Amino acid sequence: MYRSHGRALRALASICLTAVAAACARGDDGERAAGADTTAAAAPTGTGAVACADDNGGLTLPEGFCATVFADAVGGARHMAVAPNGDVFVALQTSPNGVEAGAARSGGILALRDTTRDGRADVQEGFGQVGGTGIALYDGYLYADAQTAVVRYPLAEGALRPTGSTVDTIVRNMPTGGHAARNFVIQDGALYVNFGSQTNSCQRADRKLQSPGVDPCVELEQRAGVWKFDPAQRNQTPTVAQRYATGIRNAVGLAVNGADGQLYATQHGRDQLHANWPKLFTEEQSAEKPSEQLMRLASGDDFGWPYCYFDGELNRLVLAPEYGGNGREVGRCAQKKAPIAHFPAHWAPNALAFYNGTQFPERYRGGAFIAFHGSWNRAPLPQAGYRVTFVPMKGGAATGEPETFASGFAGEDVQPNTAKYRPAGLAVAPDGAMYIADDQGGRIWRVVYRGAARGAAAPSPRAPTVAAR
């Protein structure tokens, strides 16, 4: 366990409130002194005292919005959960950077608190020995992805660390390898967990030239779908009977929309249409197909993977080449469920959050925010994604085209290995602020609405080649 506390930073932050934003940004990296109280609950952070950086921590946001760097260099920050008092809990997939000497870790949970209400965390606590993607607060516990299991820690109200040493294993023996993110959501006494696919498209030889698909794809019995468990029952093991929805290659974005109480997911679409089927697809077509998807889930739904993929140009599901498709044929895909919105290929939607707060303007309420991690395989076209996109929603459907909400993450070199930041997590706080996490540079932003110069915020620029259904 490590600690990084903030008496010195709190004093510095009070000075920053009267200084220019650039000086505040320099104060974010100040040394933190030990000894702060990490058990008493902190009031939710407000917006009145926040002095946003001139450059919003490197982000480009719509008019009226601004951002602070809530925490920096924390490691591979993935998904987040925000407590009623405003504390932020982060799932770390990789070791934090710049933490106290001797505190090297393979991952775990990072707890962050802003005691000065300036939009910057000045208290940090860490616990847990294995890190992953999923995290949630529910019924007095903090639930976390431990790669092969979902575990939970008892967490008292207002605490940053678990109460006692007990760690319950809720789901064990989860499948490993392939798409390994084990994100989840808890709602109304149900725990929904994503098990991404082992392979790209269920070929007999994965990602190999003209290798046909396994039919039926036995992978679907344990992977490529969302499983439902009881969050209060220990030592559950995945079975086909617990499968909630299937045919989803990798639903790293998973969330319940408070407006309708329904479960939604985003899908990472398949890769390598040209590399594996060069007689059917050009390199340019492979860069643009298939579309990433936003899906509305119900029990028993089948979204078609690996037999089908969604073609945004044709605006329909089509049969995959591994199963006899030619890029246009529908075949068995006519019986599969289509998405409610789709996005450019290979953008990698890694987080999904619905805006249920009141701080943002009315047009954002009930809508979906999606964090796109960014592509690695859009050559010969430029790599793309690396942004947070907003989808207006009403009645379980997208009501307009998706639009870019936050950009500027990657910097000048838009490549997966050299991008400065890659969005990986989203969370809406009780006060209506939104947190964005990055797993490349380890930065977490806090985005607030301060009001546009003339009335309501202007709409964000539309993302290219995206569409609602």
What's the average model confidence in pLDDT over 145-168?
Answer: 94
The tokens describing 411, both together, are 């910097």
Task: Flag the least confident range among 2-6, 78-82, 175-179.
Answer: 2-6
Asked if the model's pLDDT at residue 247 lies above 80, the reply is yes
Asked if the model's pLDDT at residue 231 lies above 90, the reply is yes
Residue 43, judged by CB atoms within 10 A of its CB (0-12, 13-18, 19+), counts as exposed
Reported as a single tens digit per residue, the pLDDT across 44-76 is 445 545 678 789 999 999 999 999 999 999 999
User: Is 26 a domain residue?
Assistant: no
Reported as a single tens digit per residue, the pLDDT across 368-421 is 999 999 999 999 999 999 999 999 999 999 999 999 999 999 999 999 999 999
User: Is 274 a domain residue?
Assistant: yes
What's the average model confidence in pLDDT over 289-307?
Answer: 98
User: Is 286 a domain residue?
Assistant: yes
Measure the CA–CA gap between 363 and 377, rounded to whole angstroms: 34
- Domain limits for position 457: 36-468
Task: Specify the higher pLDDT residue, 107 or 345.
Answer: 345
Going by C-alpha positions, the residue among 455, 467, 402 that lies closest to residue 64 is 455
User: Is 4 a domain residue?
Assistant: no
Band of pLDDT at residue 423, cut at 50, 70 and 90 = very high
Reported as a single tens digit per residue, the pLDDT across 6-56 is 333 333 333 233 333 333 333 333 223 333 444 444 444 455 456 787 899
Asked if the model's pLDDT at residue 227 lies above 90, the reply is yes
Q: Where are the strands (E) in 233-291, listed by range?
A: 243-246, 253-257, 262-267
Measure the CA–CA gap between 410 and 389, rounded to whole angstroms: 15
Q: What value does the CA radius of gyration of the chain take, rounded to a whole number of Å?
A: 22
Reported as a single tens digit per residue, the pLDDT across 90-137 is 999 987 653 432 244 456 999 999 999 999 999 999 998 788 999 999
User: What pLDDT shows up at residue 26?
Assistant: 30
Name residues whose C-beta falls within 8 Å of residue 102's C-beta, 6 or more positions apart in sequence. none
Q: Is-contact 353 360, C-beta < 8 A?
A: no
As separate numbers, helices (DSSP H) first and strands (DSSP E) second, the chain gives 4, 30
Measure the CA–CA gap between 110 and 403, rounded to whole angstroms: 31
Note the Cα 86 to chain centre separation in Å. Answer: 19
Task: Specify the higher pLDDT residue, 163 or 346.
Answer: 346
What's the average model confidence in pLDDT over 287-294?
Answer: 98
User: What pLDDT shows up at residue 129?
Assistant: 78
User: What pLDDT shows up at residue 94?
Assistant: 87
- Average per-residue pLDDT for the chain: 87
The tokens describing 397, both together, are 């459907």
User: What pLDDT shows up at residue 96?
Assistant: 65
User: What pLDDT shows up at residue 17?
Assistant: 32
- Report the run of H or E that residue 404 belongs to, with start and end: strand 403-406
User: What pLDDT shows up at residue 49?
Assistant: 57
Going by C-alpha positions, the residue among 307, 381, 390, 309 that lies closest to residue 352 is 390
Burial letters 23-33, b for 16+ CB under 10 A, else e: ebbebbebebe
pTM for the whole thing? 0.87
User: What pLDDT shows up at residue 441?
Assistant: 94
Band of pLDDT at residue 212, cut at 50, 70 and 90 = very high
361: CATH? 2.120.10.30
User: Is 17 a domain residue?
Assistant: no
List Cα–Cα distances, 155 to 5, 133, 158, 399, 407, in angstroms: 20, 19, 8, 39, 35
303: Cα within 13 Å, side-chain hemisphere: 30
Q: Is-contact 295 265, C-beta < 8 A?
A: yes
User: Is 313 a domain residue?
Assistant: yes
What is the tally of structural domains in the chain?
Answer: 1
User: Is 23 a domain residue?
Assistant: no
**DSSP secondary structure code for residue 205 in this structure:** S
User: Is 31 a domain residue?
Assistant: no
